[in-house]
Amino acid sequence: QVRLVESGGGLVQPGGSLRLSCAASGITLAEISIGWFRQAPGKQREGVSCITGSGKASYPGPVKGRFTTSRDNAKNTVYLQMDDLKPEDTAVYYCAADREAWRASAYARDYEYWGQGTQVTVSS
């Protein structure tokens, strides 16, 4: 019933920008927190950002202000704006839904639903 679909990944040069989208269906954004995670080959999955059902954003990961997450309730879509991209940002990026709408968890185990992932590659 609940589906999450990521889009917007691709190849970008260092210093460039991308905007990822996470389109949700079967549930409204007010009922869930949406987390963004990333996983590079041979590395553990790490939390990048989270936005709660009330729209509160947090950034537990190492992006240091370069990324911004937001939502469009009318489109039932969450975004991750990524600026000043660096090679170490290269990974598959996933969005995930936590049915505890108030929670801003950085732990993958707290998220019940996951998208298929979208590849982000930062390289010259």
* CB contact at 8 A, 117 and 92: yes
Per-residue model confidence (pLDDT) at position 51: 97
Which residues lie below 8 Å from residue 47, measured CB to CB, with a gap of 6+?
A: 35, 36, 37, 60, 61, 105, 106, 107, 108
At 70-121, the pLDDT tens digits run 999 999 999 999 999 999 999 999 999 999 999 999 999 999 999 999 999 9
Per-residue model confidence (pLDDT) at position 64: 74
Give the other-Cβ count within 10 Å of 119's Cβ: 12
Q: Which of 93, 123, 117 is nearest to 16 (CA)?
A: 123
At 28-56, the pLDDT tens digits run 999 999 999 999 999 999 999 999 999 99
Q: Which of 24, 23, 41, 32 is nearest to 119 (CA)?
A: 41
